[in-house]
Chain A
Amino acid sequence: MADQIQTMQEQVLQARSNGQKLNIVGGGSKSFMGRQSDADASTLSLAEHTGVVEYHPVELVLTVRAGVCTLSRRILATHPPSAAPWPVTCPAPPGPGRAR
């Protein structure tokens, strides 16, 4: 459960000043589909940018950071964050021929 916003912000600003391309990666679950990133791009990973920002069941609203996996979101939607089995172990990204 970590707010990585500052690290990511620094990485984006540095990439901008260096003219460096960024390949934005979440859970990597679609990487097998063939969308190749530029070889000279560095990776901006959101996987560690996790955690619950706000939980308002009255609003039917759950605000989570971008790296929270779908499974975690489903659990959090039905359990208050304090009662959810956190951290949820997200499944490994599927690949070609693996069950999805």
Chain B
Amino acid sequence: MNTQSRISKSRLAEQFRAFIDPDFVITDDETLKPYECDGLAMYREMPMLVVLPETVEQVQRVMRICHENGVPVVARGAGTGLCAGAMPHKEGVVLSLAKFNQILNIDPIGRTARLQPGVRNLAISEEAAQYGLYYGPDPSSQIACTIGGNVAENSGGVHCLKYGLTVHNILSVEMITAEGDRVTVGSDGLDSCGMDLLALLTGSEGLLGVVTEVKVKLLPKPEVAQVIMAGFDSIEKAGDAVGGVISHGIIPGGLEMMDGHAIVAADDFCGAGYPRDAKALLLCEVDGTEEEVHEHIAEAEALFRKLGATSIRTSQSEEERALLWKGRKSAFPAVGRISPDYYCMDGTIPRRYLAKVLLEMEKMSEEFGLRVANVFHAGDGNLHPLILFDANVPGEFERTEAFGSKILELCVEVGGCITGEHGVGVEKIRQMAVQFNDDELQQFHDVKAAFDPTGILNPGKGVPTLKFCQEYRSIEHKQHKHEEADTAHG
């Protein structure tokens, strides 16, 4: 499915300018530059051109022209993605959905919202608040990221442990196919007949279609929410406490963990009052009715004490709850103050292996000579190790990538997977060869070909070629043999 453009840049731009405001058909290097990467700025590529259509019909015409001429298309929302999924193709078009930013309808009775793909995640909840409703998935970038991008990456967030990922919170999407046809997948019902194509499209990273409308479910705001902050003197104890609270039958609205590096950095950043001597900290939020929250908070506090918490503080007001979360929410920029650069990884493991994996990571940190800070969604086993490095030191980014790669392989080894919510994109395409065998990858290629026979939609992302995988496995195998030999001789 290799794409090969059959049209020049100037001719393509001319065709687009016939139906899109010429100011929004971008061809000059200066204006193209901001589109060269998404939120993972280590991976960059300049696109051939960028278009910003403002109607669905214009999107259809863009797709038809690209399809006829074999031009790759990379759909883009707010560009906050963290796997280089929206990194441009050098011979392709970036199709920005930024102008599709309207909330089309909110139905407070049906608890749904119809949205254009460029609507910001947080804007949905802000608009729904007047009806006592909100939208569940809340990725850290929710102030800027868009619902179209959330569908493409199957985004999660702090509250997805209890309320699910994007796939659990949408009812239907309208999308434009590679050929430019407009189709709707899903329905207003909880289930649709036939195969579940909506689940297939969610998280497909722009490989199967371009989303032009999304219908989401809205949730009633919980009556009460309280958060417990529990400090521990070891990562193992904190990891065991995560499993303890969940197996006790309490499903927190959010259950987050931070390690020693992150605790100090976040506390320095915003003065959240975190226990600075703790090796690990849990933030456990319980929401629901007053009685339910009261009961579960008491049970969780008792459990944390029993499981070795060295300090416990429970929010007694909305202000205190917001302060305790402020440290967690600002942890990434806070870590940015203690290192010139950091690389945010994303992998998921079974909860019971949290302590084991975190300790393994500490060992790897020493081996690679790079610090790692952990701030992550402990409740659903979704790790976000932040590898601290300095891009100005030659070879340090390559070492960082190698460290990240080993973390993802460890996730697979314990039965987890190489992404929790950031997606595969370009970043994790190598590790797909570790997660899946050739038969499975071929199935993915077949699905892709069924939606996009000429392969113009986001080519080179998400699913690696089988040849690439064989080469990667072969290199890994040789490295492993070398390491074994070194150990034997050492």
| Interfacial residues, chain A to chain B (CB-CB below 8 A) | 56-60
A56 to B381, CA, bound (A): 14
A56 to B251, CA, bound (A): 15
A residues less than 8 Å from B243 (CB atoms): 58
User: How far apart are A45's CB and chain B's nearest CB, in angstroms?
Assistant: 24
* B246 engages A56 (CB within 8 Å): no
A residues less than 8 Å from B244 (CB atoms): 58
Instruction: Kindly identify, within residues 238 to 260 of chain B, every residue whose CB is under 8 Å from any CB belonging to chain A.
Output: 243-244, 246-247, 251
B480 at the interface (CB under 8 A from A): no
Label chain A's interface by main secondary structure: helix
B350 at the interface (CB under 8 A from A): yes
B352 at the interface (CB under 8 A from A): yes
User: How far apart are A76's CB and chain B's nearest CB, in angstroms?
Assistant: 15
User: How far apart are B307's CB and chain A's nearest CB, in angstroms?
Assistant: 13
**Minimum CB distance partner of A61 in chain B:** B350
Label chain B's interface by main secondary structure: helix
Instruction: Kindly identify, within residues 69 to 101 of chain B, every residue whose CB is under 8 Å from any CB belonging to chain A.
Output: none
A residues less than 8 Å from B246 (CB atoms): 57-60
A residues less than 8 Å from B381 (CB atoms): 59
Encoded as 1 (CB less than 8 Å from any A CB) or 0, chain B from 341 to 352 comes to 000000000111
**Minimum CB distance partner of B248 in chain A:** A57
A59 to B243, CA, bound (A): 7
A89 to B204, CA, bound (A): 42
A60 to B350, CA, bound (A): 10
**Minimum CB distance partner of B350 in chain A:** A59
Q: Which of A56, A57, A59, A60 has the most CB of B within 10 A?
A: A59
A residues less than 8 Å from B351 (CB atoms): 58-59
A57 to B350, CA, bound (A): 11
B residues less than 8 Å from A60 (CB atoms): 246-247, 251
**Minimum CB distance partner of A60 in chain B:** B246
A50 to B244, CA, bound (A): 29
18 contacts between A and B (CB under 8 A): A56-B350, A56-B352, A57-B246, A57-B247, A58-B243, A58-B244, A58-B246, A58-B247, A58-B351, A58-B352, A59-B246, A59-B350, A59-B351, A59-B352, A59-B381, A60-B246, A60-B247, A60-B251
A57 to B243, CA, bound (A): 8
Encoded as 1 (CB less than 8 Å from any A CB) or 0, chain B from 192 to 209 comes to 000000000000000000
**Minimum CB distance partner of A58 in chain B:** B243
Instruction: Kindly identify, within residues 318 to 359 of chain B, every residue whose CB is under 8 Å from any CB belonging to chain A.
Output: 350-352
**Minimum CB distance partner of A57 in chain B:** B247
Q: Other than the known A58-B351, A59-B352, what 16 A-B pairs have Cβ atoms closer than 8 Å?
A: A56-B350, A56-B352, A57-B246, A57-B247, A58-B243, A58-B244, A58-B246, A58-B247, A58-B352, A59-B246, A59-B350, A59-B351, A59-B381, A60-B246, A60-B247, A60-B251
User: How far apart are A63's CB and chain B's nearest CB, in angstroms?
Assistant: 12
A60 to B251, CA, bound (A): 10
Q: List the 3 closest A-B pairs by CB distance, nearest first.
A: A58-B243, A57-B247, A58-B247
B residues less than 8 Å from A58 (CB atoms): 243-244, 246-247, 351-352
B residues less than 8 Å from A59 (CB atoms): 246, 350-352, 381
User: How far apart are B240's CB and chain A's nearest CB, in angstroms?
Assistant: 9
A84 to B490, CA, bound (A): 52
B residues less than 8 Å from A56 (CB atoms): 350, 352
A residues less than 8 Å from B251 (CB atoms): 60
A residues less than 8 Å from B247 (CB atoms): 57-58, 60
A59 to B251, CA, bound (A): 11
User: How far apart are B194's CB and chain A's nearest CB, in angstroms?
Assistant: 14
A56 to B243, CA, bound (A): 10
User: How far apart are A57's CB and chain B's nearest CB, in angstroms?
Assistant: 4
User: How far apart are B23's CB and chain A's nearest CB, in angstroms?
Assistant: 52
Q: Which of A57, A58, A60 has the most CB of B within 10 A?
A: A58
User: How far apart are A61's CB and chain B's nearest CB, in angstroms?
Assistant: 8
A residues less than 8 Å from B350 (CB atoms): 56, 59
Encoded as 1 (CB less than 8 Å from any A CB) or 0, chain B from 208 to 250 comes to 0000000000000000000000000000000000011011000
B residues less than 8 Å from A57 (CB atoms): 246-247
A60 to B351, CA, bound (A): 10
**Minimum CB distance partner of B247 in chain A:** A57
A58 to B251, CA, bound (A): 11
User: How far apart are A82's CB and chain B's nearest CB, in angstroms?
Assistant: 16
A58 to B244, CA, bound (A): 7
